[in-house]
Amino acid sequence: MNQIRQAPCMHCGYNGPGFHQPKTHPCAGKTDAELFLDYKSQITHLETLLGDIKDLFGEVNDIIKFDSEGEFETEWDERMHKAIQAAATELEKDDG
Ligand SMILES: [Zn+2]
């Protein structure tokens, strides 16, 4: 048995006109089971994104290291230094 739904929508937060019309508010045309599946797929999607973010920060944490004085050291130092020098050289060329 469907609960009577009231605005704001507990699934998407919609609180505007046409609340009970699927044309203006898609949740209105869905059963509770469908909304639950939508919700589950959104959670799965968010979990995937969160996993990607964790992986990314894991990689960053592996690369960036802090020395005893709290200054960060990175394996990229040499490459970054070369890239900055190359960029500075290019900028000097542009100025000249
Ligand atoms: Zn909704």
Concatenating the DSSP letter of every residue in 65-91 gives: EE-TTS-EEETTHHHHHHHHHHHHHHH
Question: Could you identify the residue written with the tokens 């060329």?
Answer: 93
Distance 15 CA to ligand 1 centre (A): 8
Whole-model pTM? Answer: 0.43
pLDDT per residue as tens digits for the range 36-80: 888 788 888 888 888 887 777 776 666 666 667 766 666 566 666
- How close is the Cα of 16 to the center of ligand 1, in Å? 10
73 phi/psi in degrees, rounded to 5: -115, 150
> Is the torsion defined by CA of 49, 50, 53, 54 positive or negative?
negative
Model confidence at 84, in pLDDT bands (50, 70, 90)?
confident
Kindly report, residue by residue over 19-48, the tens digit of the pLDDT. 999 999 999 999 888 888 887 888 888 888
Ligand 1 centroid – CA 91 distance (Å): 53
Residue 2 has pLDDT above 60, yes or no: no
Give the Å distance between the CA of 58 and the centre of ligand 1.
Answer: 36
Contact predicate 53/47, CB 8 Å? no
Separation of 42 CA from ligand 1 center, angstroms? 13
- Better-scored residue on pLDDT, 54 or 8: 8
